[in-house]
Amino acid sequence: MSQIFFEPENWQFKAVHEQDWLPARVPGCVHKDLERNGIIAEPFYRRNELDQQWIDKQDWEYEGCFQLSEQELNAAGLELVFDGLDTYADVYVNGVPVLSANNMFRTWRINIKPAAKPGTNRLTVYLRSPIAEDLPKLEKLGYHLMANNEQPETGGLGDKRVSMFARKAPYHYGWDWGPRFVTSGIWREVRLAAWSGSRIRDVFIRQDEVTPEMARLTAQVEVEAATSWEGMLRLEADGQLWEQSVELAAGVTVLEFGLKIARPRLWWCRGLGNPELYTFEASLWVDGGRQADASVVTGLRSMKLVRRKDVYGCGFYVELNGVPVFAKGANHIPNDSFITEVTVERYRHEIVSAAEANMNMLRVWGGGIYEQQIFYELCDQYGILVWQDFMFACSMYPGSKEFLDNIALEAEDNIRRLRNHPCIALWCGNNEIDMAWAHYDESGGWGWKQHYSPEQRVMLWADYTAIFNRILPEAVEKFAPGAAYWPSSPLTDETGGISQHSTYLTMGSGDMHYWGVWHAVEVFEEYNRHVGRFMSEYGFQSFPEYRTVRAFAEESDMSLESPVMLAHQRSNNGNDLIKQYMDIYMKEPKDFPAFLVMSQILQAEAVRMAIEAHRRRMPYCMGTLYWQINDCWPVASWAGIDYYGRWKALHYYAKRSYQDLAISIDGTVGGFVNVYLISDLSEPVSALLEISLHDFAGQLLMRTVQPATAAPHISGMVSSLTVSGLLKGHDPASVVLVARLLQDDMVLDCKEHYFAGMKELKLPVPTIRVELIGSGGAGNQYRLECDVLAKQVWLSVEEEGFFTDNFFDLLPGYPKTVEFRPLQPEDGAAPTGRSLTVRSITDLI
């Protein structure tokens, strides 16, 4: 079999009504091609988004050429494959129509032999406007379907929401953290395959039973033969060889045979072991010659979603190789509004950053895309579990037969594409639709039901159940047998089966989204009260750093209420909410750049409180995924890493709060300070717990040391002290409690606790001494010391990269060593360190 791949440079594009062709890139999209050709300005800059809404109202045309030899043309099969077309596309080969596509998430395969010819062939892709395509569907329906996050006003559509009619990334139509750029384009690879004889179309390693002693597997090899065929099928992995004779009829056949691997190297998520991977190579042989081959990489593991009844309701956790996993991580959205701009390096930075922050799970949220293959490959390699949503979010969807059939094919394509990845922990039907509709609670939900007549309600709910209670779970069971399916997030499970009801305040069963902090303007301390069995969403916003803000704004835009700053804030009253919470918890920033940094500290403190509240409740609570790890454009948002990959304070806080062995100090119980030891390790740890009280000048006021043992996979209180017994008359605004976990000469963890809020603390102005103690290809190492308490020590450099720690508190007598890790170090040379700047919170107020 031979394959021909189209080169990105060999494409041109134009608006359909225009005459002149312009150079284009494939994979790509219209917006970025227009920008590269100087037709539009940089989309993210200032308010340029508003001037570019005309693009999605037009039809566009892409054209490329490919060469075919007589041999290729005479092959048994000649197949054109589009791995992704965004979204409504008519495809022509030499002017002959060969495909009409209507789903961004599907793979399209077309036999083009009738239209192809020897020599030069012309491929034309006519992209129809998604807005013009779907407005008539809305008019025909006669009433609106709910889609709260869509931004039709920005697109000049008034109140006409159309995103739910297109099988296209919902976030393209705007969200409460993202702009409205309704793209069109050829967004994944295009390739041409010419083949004869037989070929292997797919290899699936079904994991029937995996234990440390034995992996019992079934290899499913999908073979297509041009004519009847006899030969040998071989499968090789890790030095083992399996063979069987096969006879094939013309057409597609799925061959199965059982495999056993003794004492398999198991795939583990980060923190529990190595993410071991196997390569399985399948090949077809005839007369001693190899005719076709294909390979897949997978990891051998047992993965279950455990929902077991208990006295509280019904639990919810992932069990990996028989071990309950406390999920630590965040929600992931697409890394760019223009997804083809995301490079392998950007994906790698995100997954490495997740692993560096001690995360073991990311949730691929349902308003984006089924991610690129490299995303899952990296999660496999770094041991990051993936909660995988299907691409449905915060909307009611139509239920025509054509629409439902399209969804079924979309589900098949993506389950088959991803099912070999060991990182996939579960499939989830949608984001927040069950809770928004709340079918069995007339007063529940988001008020959606009240917009419809009784007849319309019945029909809409029937359409919902057809998708999420029938089509999607049946697809998972058929194409990934044994994989877990969860219909909606959040969802309760009071009966042990699929629930018909949920609210974001339900805590005893299922998974939970808690947004009382932020949307309901509840105080941070409420995180301690609202703890569910698995916290799959919660969060708090901040601004990115000054460099990032200046990438989209001028100095004249530097105020909360400027039009540009409001355009880069998509949550209703988001800037006001940040300011409102800052007034509660923090002193007044001295200027706008200081406000940006302090907003990050505020966000980090909020999410830290939530994470530690969740981890302290293990095993009642078995997961905490904050919203969100990343951004799709430079914006004020819930992200812990901004659009340019720069870690905010939140990501550094998460790294400390997600440590596998961690101290957590709870001072919210009246009159007491309770110290917890939390362990995600599989072995017990014996250490010493040192608790000391210091004034801000560093003077030791009290110190105790006690043995402390952390049992595996558990949280427990190891010390409870009275506030009065600790302070003994000392000013609560001028002292700090330090808890350290010590083993031999190592500090396993260290946490601070203050007896007054950040706003009330009487902070001295510190002098921070910095010494460069090492340098090399990996980065520079610095030793920091101070004369008085330096709170929120903030390190920054001109180079792109991250520190091993940042936004930390530094006390006299407790020096700290920090390493800077550059993203792109110069050839063999480490950064000079001359650009290092050190500040603390007293520099910001």
pLDDT in tens, 589-624: 999 999 999 999 999 999 999 999 999 999 999 999
Tokens describing residue 228: 């009847």
CA dist 733 and 4 (Å) reads: 70
Q: What is the pLDDT of residue 835?
A: 83
Global confidence as pTM: 0.96
Q: What is the chain's alpha carbon radius of gyration, rounded to the nearest angstrom?
A: 28
Q: What is the pLDDT of residue 4?
A: 64
Pair 304, 318: CB distance under 8 Å: yes
pLDDT greater than 70 at residue 830: no
CA dist 238 and 279 (Å) reads: 7
Q: What is the average pLDDT across 83-102?
A: 98
Q: Which residues are catalytic?
A: 432
Residue owning tokens 């022509």: 92
Q: What is the pLDDT of residue 829?
A: 52
Report CA dihedral (657, 661, 663, 668) to the nearest 10 degrees. 60
Digit-coded pLDDT (tens) for 709-719 = 999 999 999 99
Digit-coded pLDDT (tens) for 557-584 = 999 999 999 999 999 999 999 999 999 9
Digit-coded pLDDT (tens) for 723-775 = 999 999 999 999 999 999 999 989 999 999 999 999 999 999 999 999 999 88
Angle at 729 between CA 728 and CA 732, to 5 degrees: 100
Digit-coded pLDDT (tens) for 311-352 = 999 999 999 999 999 999 999 999 999 999 999 999 999 999
pLDDT greater than 60 at residue 147: yes
pLDDT greater than 80 at residue 354: yes
**194-208, 244-258, 494-508: the lowest-pLDDT one:** 494-508
Per cent of the chain over pLDDT 90 is 91
Element (H, E) at 720: strand 714-722
Digit-coded pLDDT (tens) for 454-497 = 999 999 999 999 999 999 999 999 999 999 999 999 998 633 33
pLDDT greater than 70 at residue 504: no
Q: What is the pLDDT of residue 144?
A: 96
Q: What is the pLDDT of residue 2?
A: 54
Q: What is the pLDDT of residue 498?
A: 38
Phi and psi at residue 719, to the nearest 5°: -160, 140
- Give the helix ranges, DSSP H, for 244-305: none
CA dist 130 and 756 (Å) reads: 54
Q: Give the model's confidence band at 535: pLDDT under 50 very low, under 70 low, under 90 confident, else very high.
A: very high
Q: What is the average pLDDT across 5-28?
A: 89
Q: What is the average pLDDT across 21-47?
A: 97
Cα-based distances in Å from 828 to 344, 804, 822, 831, 834 = 21, 20, 12, 10, 18
Half-sphere exposure of 660 (CA within 13 A, CB side): 18
Instruction: Note the maximum CA span of the chain.
Output: 93
CA dist 57 and 42 (Å) reads: 19
Q: Give the model's confidence band at 823: pLDDT under 50 very low, under 70 low, under 90 confident, else very high.
A: confident
CA dist 324 and 318 (Å) reads: 6
Q: What is the average pLDDT across 512-541?
A: 96
Cα-based distances in Å from 654 to 194, 356, 530, 604, 641 = 50, 10, 19, 8, 11
Angle at 771 between CA 765 and CA 773, to 5 degrees: 150
391 residue type, one letter: M
Q: What is the pLDDT of residue 288?
A: 86
Of 828, 831, 822, 835, which is closest to residue 352 (Cα–Cα)?
A: 822
pLDDT greater than 80 at residue 152: yes
Q: What is the average pLDDT across 379-407?
A: 98
Report CA dihedral (498, 502, 507, 510) to the nearest 10 degrees. 20
